[in-house]
């Protein structure tokens, strides 16, 4: 999905695994959006995975629940 198609509820958590293609890769955030919360995208299909703040929060907690 693209940013325009995302709702705030869909951006409430960071997707470790891309829900569109199943990839684990991410693209670096656009640092020109540093004033706002930069969007992190899938490195494979360009889908929105979450925000940079969500990724930082996930890294600090060190816990992820994987569901298949």
pLDDT tens profile 21-44? 999 999 977 777 666 778 889 999
Domain annotation covers residue 56: yes
- Sort strands 39-41 and 48-51 into parallel, antiparallel or unpaired: antiparallel
Q: Record the pTM.
A: 0.66
- For 5-12, what is the mean pLDDT? 52
Q: Report how far apart, in Å, the C-alpha atoms of 46 and of each of 35, 36, 55, 62, 63 are.
A: 22, 20, 16, 25, 25
Domain annotation covers residue 66: no
Count the domains in the chain: 1
CA distance 48 to 20: 9
User: Where in the sequence is the domain holding 14, given as residue range(s)?
Assistant: 3-61
Domain annotation covers residue 67: no
Q: Is residue 1 scored above 70 in pLDDT? A: no
Q: Is residue 60 scored above 70 in pLDDT? A: yes
């Amino acid at each position: 999905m693209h940013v325009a198609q995302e709702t705030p509820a869909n951006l409430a958590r960071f997707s470790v695994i891309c829900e569109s293609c199943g990839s684990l890769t991410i693209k670096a955030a656009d640092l020109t959006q540093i004033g706002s919360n930069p969007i992190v995208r899938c490195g494979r299909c360009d889908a929105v995975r979450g925000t940079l703040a969500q990724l930082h929060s996930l890294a600090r907690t060190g816990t992820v629940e994987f569901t298949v």
